[in-house]
Amino acid sequence: MQSKQYSLKVYETTVGEEEKFLSFFEANHILFKDHLIILRGEVSDRIRAYLTSKSLHFLENVTLPEGRPRRELAKELALEKTKQEVKEKMLQSELSKLTNRLENNLTVLDKMIRSGQELSIEGDLLLLNRVNSGATLSITGNLIITQVVEGAIRCSGQFMLLTASPKANIIFHGLEINNSYLEDKLNRVELKNNEVVITPVLKKDINWA
Amino acid sequence: MGIVIAVISGKGGVGKTTAVANVGLGIAQQGKRCIVLDFDIGQRNLDMILGLENRVVYDMIHVMDGDASLQQALIRSKVDNNLYFLAASQSKDKSVLDSEKIEKLVRNLKKEFDFVILDAPAGIESGYEHTIEFADKAIVVVNPEVSSIRDSDRAIGILDSKSQRVKEGKEVGKYLIINRIVPEMVRSGQMLRSEDILDILDIKLLGKVPEDRGVIDASNQGKPVILNKDSLAGAAYKRIASRLCGEDIKMVDIESEGGGLFKKLTGMFK
Ligand SMILES: Nc1ncnc2c1ncn2[C@@H]1O[C@H](COP(=O)(O)OP(=O)(O)O)[C@@H](O)[C@H]1O
Ligand SMILES: [Mg+2]
């Protein structure tokens, strides 16, 4: 015996007035292309012929095994959402302690990224060495670099912490960062309400002369 | 068993061949057996700088293909009995370089010589990866210019990923020669300082060689500048050769006026 198992979308509807039913399907039949349509009530030959002409699949007055009740599903989704919200709130509260926010899949590297090298990192990166001119560093998470950057950075995490890097080419969430904003000894670049905000963390050395 | 040193750079014209000829001769003068090989098929001129261009009969490809023995192909320097030379392929076809053949040649030379020095093509050339593949150490030659540094950085990156030693989990020792330093220009801030170059490349400094017109004269005559007792560049190559032979020679601060005294004094007031 050969058998296969499928999960597919089912659209269940009761045929009331024939005209209304037909005009609804005339407008929406595209949406049900990949569905199995279960029809309840009186099904006329006209309706059958129409659905067949649109290559739709349908069954009449059959009872299907019950799927997972909708309410349960909705509850689960709501729970997931609150979890996400709590997580985000916690993340926000950690805002002041930047290193604590390096939390998803952290990579720590003490390796010079040389010209011509392209390094892609999934998650967060703490880099204790330089990014030389001609090198490219792409990272999906947060980024802290303790040495000067002269190459290219592509970062789409929540924040970056960078030293003054006048020769760097830094793209944060698709936006090019003007290097003159990164003049301080240590600079924090972050996305707040869809805006890039740059704040000095450590000011430049005070020159008494 | 000798060691294999590839002399590399990012772009051409920075002084690799000059360094190979002078350092090779310097090592030979210290009583070590040394062979220099020209791997730069595109710009082979090591023979000229050593004054051996008319003596080439067989080249490296003849040896690799078994058409000539090493004894037949090696050319002994007129200046020093310890120095030998093996010429680059005379054919233009660069694809003749084959990893297995190179490895075999290098392995045989290591048995006979204390130092096997390879004059590599520039890092951007196709033959570069072959030349560095079986090197134990690399000498990186740069000029104090941003573009030279950046290209060398790239060549080092390739070395760190393609060399046989790295693939075996070992390291390739990397040493830096900063060539054609003009002290006045460094002092006036027009030329990169050695410290800045070392910051970027992060490898050990082997020596600093000043700009010296004597180098060009010497090359034209086929007598490496190290033979010229009055040449500052010659003295710098001599120190480099001694360091490679294991001597602890102090780094000379060629950038400052008065041989380093000036800098030491100002350093005290910092
Ligand atoms: N220290 C130096 N001072 C002056 N000229 C130099 C010096 N080093 C190299 N040169 C000159 O630079 C040119 C390129 O040197 P070469 O050794 O052929 O470079 P490469 O092998 O890297 O292409 C040559 O004309 C050489 O004479
Ligand atoms: Mg050359």
Q: What is the 3-class SS of A95-129, one letter each residue? A: CCCHHHHCCCCCEEECCCECCCCEEEECCCEEECC
- Nearest CA among A139, A144, A168, A175 for reference residue A155: A139
Alpha helix stretches (DSSP H) within chain A: 18-28, 45-53, 70-93
Tally of CB atoms within 10 A around B192 = 20
The answer to whether residue A170 sits within a structural domain is: yes
Q: List CB contacts (< 8 A) between B150 and chain A.
A: 115, 132-134
Q: Tell which of A109, A110, A114 to mutate to test the B interface (max B CBs under 10 Å).
A: A114
Contacts of A133 in chain B (CB under 8 A): 146, 150, 153, 200
**A140 and A51, same domain (yes or no):** no
| Domain count across chain A | 2
Are B233 and B180 within 8 A, CB to CB? Answer: no
pTM of the model: 0.72
Residue A98: domain span: 82-202
Rounded Cα distance, B239 and B237, in Å: 5
Question: Is A174 found in the same domain as A125?
Answer: yes
Residues 6+ apart with CB under 8 A from B255: B181, B183, B186, B187, B193, B194, B208, B263
| Domain identity same for A48 and A93 | no
**What ipTM did this prediction achieve?**
0.73
CA A56 centroid distance within chain: 34
Of B146, B154, B199, the CB nearest to A116: B154
- Give yes or no: residues A99 and A28 share one domain: no
Residues A89 and A176 in one domain: yes
Q: Which amino acid is at B17?
A: T
Answer whether residue A76 is part of any domain: no
Provide the phi-psi class of B269: left if phi over 0, else alpha when psi is between -120 and 50, else beta: alpha
The domain containing residue B230 runs over which residues?
Answer: 3-266
CATH assignment of the domain containing A185: 2.160.20.70
Label the pairing between strands B115-119 and B34-38: parallel
- Give a yes or no: residue A35 inside a domain: yes
Whichever domain contains B72, its CATH number is 3.40.50.300
Tell me how crowded residue A45 is: count the other CB atoms within 10 A of its CB.
7
Cβ of A116 within 8 Å of Cβ of B158? The answer is yes
* Contact flag A117-B157 (C-beta cutoff 8 Å): yes
* B153: amino acid identity, one letter: D
* Tens digits of pLDDT across chain B (270 residues): 999 999 999 999 999 999 999 999 999 999 999 999 999 887 889 999 999 988 999 999 899 989 999 999 999 999 999 999 999 987 756 555 788 999 999 999 999 999 999 999 998 888 899 899 999 999 999 999 999 999 999 999 999 989 999 889 999 999 999 999 999 999 999 999 999 999 999 999 999 999 999 999 999 999 999 999 999 999 999 999 999 999 999 999 999 875 444 444 444 444
Torsion of CA A160, A166, A167, A173, to 10 degrees: 30
Q: Structurally, how many domains does chain B consist of?
A: 1
- CB B33 within 8 Å of CB B191: no
Do A115 and B153 count as a contact with CB atoms less than 8 A apart? yes
Residues A93 and A188 reside in one and the same domain = yes
